[in-house]
Amino acid sequence: MPRAALLVSTALIAALVPLSVARAADDPAPTPVDRFEGEVPFASQPADGIFTWGSDSDDPPALQLAERTDAPEGAKVLSGTYDISGYGGFTHDFAATEPAHDWSAHKGIRFWWDGQDNGKKTAFEIKDGGTDGEASELWTTSFTDDFTGWKQIEIPFTDFVYRTDYQPVGGIDHVLGLTRMWGYAVTLPVGLKGRFAMDDVELYGKADQALRASVTTDAAVYPVKEGGTASVKVTVATTGSAPIDDPVTVAYETTGGTAEAGKDYKAVSGTLTFPAGTASGATQTIQVPTLKDRPAGSAETIPLKLTVTGAKAPVETPQVVIDAHGLPYLDSKLPVKKRVADLLSRMSLEEKAGQMTQAERGAVGTGGDIAAYDLGSLLSGGGSTPTPNTAAAWAQMIDSFQLRAQATRFQIPLIYGVDAVHGHNNLAGATIMPHNIGIGATRDPRLAEKAGAVTASEVRATGIPWDFAPCLCVSRDERWGRSYESFGEDPALVKSMETIIQGLQGRADGRDLSRDDKVLATAKHFVGDGGTAYGSSTTGSYTIDQGVTTVTRQQLEAIHLAPFQTAVDRGIGTVMPSYSSLDIVGDGLGPVKMHARADMIDGVLKGRMGFKGFVISDWNAMDQLPGDYPAHVRTAVNAGVDMMMVPYGYKDFTAALIAEVKAGRVSEQRVDDAVSRILTQKFRLGLFEHPYADTSGASKIGSTAHRAVARQAAAESQVLLKNSGDVLPLKKSEKVYVAGSNADDLGNQTGGWTLTWQGQSGTHTAGTTILQGMKNAGGDVTYSKDASAPTSGYDVGVVVVGETPYAEGVGDVGNGNDLVLTAADQAAVDKVCAAMKCAVLIVSGRPQLIGDRLGEIDALVASWLPGTEGDGVADVLYGKRAFTGQLPVTWPKAEAQLPINVGDASYDPQYPYGWGLTTLTKAPKGGEATLRALGAAARAAERAGASSTGRKLVGEARLLVQAKVGQSITAVVSKPFADADHLLLTGRYGAAVQKLTEAYEAA
């Protein structure tokens, strides 16, 4: 029926309703949000509009503006149908280009809903703060569809709660301010084919002071030394910062908790009054004195109950905590082993289970569950950042979480982890290094260590003591979406780059871990993740990531395990198992998920290799194991996984682990071993003495000195594959025509795992693109991304092409990706290279199939993913530095050749492993005679243990061979050439020169 028919006249209300209720007439007129008459389009950010979303292509509902004769308001309603298996719904976001809306004058939001009486809950959320509708806080409530026909749903703003399961930006201030509102969203019921209709969304009622005014405390937890006095600051604040209209009173009393009044503290009670007219932000203080009652004891809590009148009360009761004191584990002078034993002996099973649990920061909200579940660790997944995404905000956020841990009985600090896989890549403005594949191309272990040191410094300065890096995978198939996370396809190369561990952690004995510029490192993914077979993945649409690695024991040892032994020898603090499965030929087990392989984790890693750190699972990896949830828990824990990364399932995990121990299916000895390993690293990191962020190094984040290291790494990572006519280096006097999709795109240049998990194109952090680097170098440069500008009058062209960002299985070939340049990139190469001498740079995480265009390309460079310092690429393009990079992986001619790797019996690539031309250095003359002399000298160097001399001699032989081979690279040349680089990395300098001699003779 029309809405007018439902309204009762004002005169009738006056006659029927007592005068005291009629004060509602003072309410402001309703403010329309959506009338659904077509005034708001179906559109998404940044425009004002309504759009749908869902967990997959089938889940977004179908929407239309439909004419209905029974529309509660106007002629049309928003109607739709849905059939949702995961999640789905729709959103109205206000225009991001216009100011946010102010809803603070109203009591709540209401709308008409056409009920289907399905008994299902429908979630309704509103968007507060931030920069726009997709970067704001989400506040949610729900209503039940238990009626038929139109019904007006009224939701006071007081009913909305902050979402703790998901926040697109990870929280802004956790306060529903109502002055910066960006719209609303509806999440429809799951597992039900349904239809709905909605009309007339509007703001209603007058906001009362209890909604506009709130009382807060300056912290949730107040640690204080025994005998000290805690000061609790109580603040009254209003939306819009106006003075309060009516008095606000706060009655307080110390009550409950584990401390005893009169013995541990002096009980306090009273009332604070904020009179009418008090300015927003006014503060009063409550003092809670504690007493000295015993020489040693665990922490004790004193809740301070606050009863607020006239304003919204704090979300939780603040707690004063009397610090643990006098216990042996708190004595920093004792050996770590004794401190661990003492603390472990005092802990309950529940506290031990908490230490074995890692949750995502976005799951714990403001952190109350940290103490409630004795959580041992938090992490930030890719893109899980504070707002604003600054170093100070990171430190403040992590300190707030550490403060929560002080409310636990033994005040065991959290260990916070982050995927800083090429610099502190979650932090805007951080120094972003080349991805590992580029670091492998440098063949420079000292540089790898420096890159690790820069990363550690920037990570620790934001309060984070733990880095989920480095990846020690040996990448054997470039179709893998994680290829760029590997240093290369040769285990000898990966082992040589593990100097990065010392850059991250310091000395192998762990003595440097407590420094303010070092972090605990993680060797991942144990073991064989780089060897998964194409087509073996069973994870969604992935084709190779998380698949099956099938190897003999000899192959497993030689290729995949070898780097982990080196990591253990270097003192690696933690190890992360792989999502993938391992199938060892002949063991009769078939493919077994690595998180279930006790023979490898407990047997090989902890047993034979002597690993003393702790094992952290990958993100929800336990859930991929067979059986029910308790089976997942006991299988992974019994296999040797010490801490479980269960981002949003931490409550279920702790409960299940405790139940499995009580049932005898997980032994207390296994739990004690896991917790001892975790506590050992926390003590070594100095977290018990210094749990909070030391930001003294924050000024170095993104500094000139740090960027200089990244610039050097970018320069050394460039691999010159072809250089006909010495096109490179460029001369500053030359007029250069620059084109291609990746010439001026910082996001493409930094790749995945940059600000967000998958990364994104465009400018999202501070850095220099390759184009800007060329300009900074003083080049005479003209840029046309698609090469549409006229090409006449130029001396040389530089076309920068390649991939757009991706991460993990999303980047698998066959999952919407391939190894071929886009049509636009191909067109740019063709046009520029047909018009002038040209150099083509390929910015990518793996080789691209370029053989069909090699004839028209004069110079070809594998640029990999060079990070934020495009100046480094320009350094080699303009000859400030020589090209010195070498291929860390084999460059194939065709996808059909994959997998293709050094050491293969059949080996006929486009460019062999180890290939890399140089500039500014002449190749030796003399042919075979020179090679014989170099071989003799190399053998002598090998016998003498003169590794630096040996490497230099092999390098000279390599240049001589490349000079003769040119671009006539055949199978008989490639195989010994690639083998030589492997031999070089294993210290067999004489044999390396012998292989290079074979390649020379075959050319």
Catalytic residues: 618, 808
What is the rounded CA–CA span in Å between residue 680 and residue 614?
Answer: 9
Angle between helices 971-985 and 989-1002 (to 10 degrees): 170
Going 845 to 851 to 856 to 858, the CA torsion angle's sign is: positive
Q: How far is CA 462 from the centre of its chain?
A: 15
Could you give the angle at the alpha carbon of 138 between the alpha carbons of 133 and 140, nearest 5°? 130
Tokens 């860390």 correspond to what residue? 888
What is the rounded CA–CA span in Å between residue 410 and residue 345?
Answer: 12
What is the rounded CA–CA span in Å between residue 402 and residue 532?
Answer: 39
Going across the sheet that includes 548-551, the strands are 548-551, 581-584, 592-593
Beta-bridge partners for 70:
none
What Å distances lie between residue 707 and 582, 799, 872, CA to CA?
A: 39, 25, 10
Beta-bridge partners for 153:
111
Question: Hey, is 907 helix, strand or coil?
Answer: coil
What is the rounded CA–CA span in Å between residue 841 and residue 862?
Answer: 6
Q: Are the C-beta atoms of 466 and 520 separated by less than 8 Å?
A: yes
**Token representation of residue 520:** 């605990």
Least Cα distance to 875 among 785, 776, 727, 751 occurs for 776
> Which amino acid is residue 888, in one-letter code?
P
Least Cα distance to 564 among 515, 619, 615, 514 occurs for 615
Helices (H), 36-116: none
DSSP sequence for 965-992: HTT---HHHHHHHHHHHHHHHTT-HHHH
Q: Is cis: bond before 161, omega within 30 of 0?
A: no
Angle between helices 704-717 and 870-877 (to 10 degrees): 50
Least Cα distance to 512 among 336, 686, 340 occurs for 686
What is the rounded CA–CA span in Å between residue 349 and residue 709?
Answer: 46
What is the rounded CA–CA span in Å between residue 572 and residue 719?
Answer: 30
Question: Hey, is 64 helix, strand or coil?
Answer: strand
Tokens 């407590």 correspond to what residue? 514
What is the rounded CA–CA span in Å between residue 960 and residue 949?
Answer: 17
**Token representation of residue 959:** 């240049």
Least Cα distance to 958 among 989, 941, 948 occurs for 989
**DSSP label at residue 256:** -
What is the rounded CA–CA span in Å between residue 89 and residue 741?
Answer: 35
Q: Are the C-beta atoms of 73 and 150 separated by less than 8 Å?
A: no
What Å distances lie between residue 583 and 528, 556, 601, CA to CA?
A: 10, 10, 15
Least Cα distance to 205 among 73, 23, 71, 18 occurs for 23
What is the rounded CA–CA span in Å between residue 64 and residue 55?
Answer: 21
What is the rounded CA–CA span in Å between residue 953 and residue 935?
Answer: 8
Question: Hey, is 600 helix, strand or coil?
Answer: helix
Q: Are the C-beta atoms of 753 and 765 separated by less than 8 Å?
A: no
What is the rounded CA–CA span in Å between residue 899 and residue 530?
Answer: 11
Furthest CA-CA distance within the chain? 115
Q: Are the C-beta atoms of 928 and 921 separated by less than 8 Å?
A: no
